[in-house]
Amino acid sequence: MNTVKEQIEALRNELRLHNYNYYVLDNARISDYDFDFRLKTLQDLEAKHPEFFDANSPTQRVGGEITKNFETLVHEHRMYSLDNSYSKEDLEDWETRIKKLVDGDVNYTCELKYDGASISLTYENGKLLKAVTRGDGLQGDNITANIKTIKSVPLQLKGDYPPKFDIRGEIVLPFDGFNKMNEERIEIGEEPYRNPRNTASGSLKLQDSAEVAKRPLECLLYNLTGNTLGVKTQFESLDKARQWGFKVPEAAKLANSIDEVLEFVNYWDVRRHDLPYETDGVVIKVNNLQQQEELGYTAKAPRWAIAYKFKAEQVSTRLNTITYQVGRTGAITPVANLEPVELAGTTVKRASLHNADQIEKLDIREGDEVYVEKGGEIIPKILGVDLSKRSANSEPTIYITQCPECETQLVRQEGEAQHYCLNYNGCNPQIIGRIQHFISRKAMDIDGLGGETVALLVNEGLITNYSDLYELTKEQVVPLERMAEKSAENLINGIKQSKNIPFERVLYALGIRYVGETVAKKLAKHYKGIDAIAVASHEELENVDEIGVKIAESVTAFFESEENVAIVNRLKDFGVQLEMSEEQLVGQTDKLKGDIIVVSGVFHSVTRNVLKKLIEDNGGKVSSSISSKTSYIVAGDNMGPSKKQKAEKLQIALISESEFLQKIK
Q: What is the 3-state secondary structure of 238-281?
A: HHHHHHHCCCCCCCEEEECCHHHHHHHHHHHHHHHHHCCCCEEE
Per-residue model confidence as pLDDT tens digits over 33-90: 677 777 778 777 777 787 777 777 777 666 666 777 888 898 999 999 898 888 899 9
Per-residue model confidence as pLDDT tens digits over 313-344: 789 999 999 999 999 889 999 999 999 988 86
User: Directed axis angle between helix 175-187 and helix 196-204, to 10°?
Assistant: 80
pLDDT computed for residue 375 by the predictor? 59
pLDDT computed for residue 247 by the predictor? 94
Cα separation, 633 vs 580, in Å, equals: 30
Per-residue model confidence as pLDDT tens digits over 228-273: 898 999 999 999 999 999 999 999 999 999 999 999 999 999 898 8
pLDDT computed for residue 309 by the predictor? 87
CB atoms within 10 A of CB 647: 20
> Phi-psi bin for 398: left (phi > 0), alpha (psi -120 to 50), beta?
beta
Long-range contacts of 96-103, Cβ-Cβ distance < 8 Å, separation of 24 or more: 97/303, 98/286, 98/295, 98/303, 98/304, 100/625, 101/294, 101/295, 101/303, 101/624, 101/625, 102/286, 102/291, 102/294, 102/295, 102/640, 103/639, 103/640, 103/641, 103/642, 103/643
pTM score, whole prediction: 0.74
Confidence check: pLDDT of 23 > 70? no
Confidence check: pLDDT of 602 > 70? yes
Per-residue model confidence as pLDDT tens digits over 211-237: 888 899 999 999 999 888 989 999 999
Q: Where are the domains of the chain?
A: 4-62, 84-302, 312-420, 428-500, 503-585, 596-663
Give the residues across from 314 on adjacent strands.
373
Q: Please state, in angstroms and as integers, the Cα–Cα distance from residue 373 to each residue in 86, 140, 333, 385, 499, following that order.
A: 14, 30, 19, 12, 43
Q: Does domain 4-62 have CATH number 3.40.50.1820?
A: no
Tell me the average pLDDT across 204-217: 88
CATH ID of 84-302, from 3.30.470.30, 3.40.50.300, 3.40.1410.10, 3.40.50.150: 3.30.470.30
Contact 249, 172 (CB under 8 A): no
Q: Do domains 312-420 and 428-500 have the same CATH topology?
A: no
Confidence check: pLDDT of 186 > 60? yes
Tell me the average pLDDT across 596-612: 85
Q: Does domain 428-500 have CATH number 1.20.1050.10?
A: no
3-class DSSP assignment, residue 374: strand
Q: What is the 3-state secondary structure of 57-71?
A: CHHHHHCCCECCCCC
3-class DSSP assignment, residue 510: coil
Phi, psi of 194 (to 5 degrees): -80, -45
Mean pLDDT over all residues of the chain? 88
Confidence check: pLDDT of 376 > 60? no
**Nearest-CA neighbor of 465 among 553, 555, 565, 556?**
565
Cα separation, 290 vs 198, in Å, equals: 36
Cα separation, 222 vs 242, in Å, equals: 10
Tell me the average pLDDT across 536-552: 88
- Which residues are known catalytic residues? 113
* Fold (CATH) for 503-585: DNA polymerase; domain 1 (1.10.150)
Tell me the average pLDDT across 368-378: 76
pLDDT computed for residue 1 by the predictor? 44
Q: Tell which CATH architecture fits domain 596-663.
A: 3-Layer(aba) Sandwich (3.40)
pLDDT computed for residue 5 by the predictor? 80
Q: Tell which CATH architecture fits domain 312-420.
A: Beta Barrel (2.40)
* Distance in angstroms between the alpha carbons of the first and the last residue of the chain: 61
Percentage of residues in the chain having pLDDT higher than 90: 49
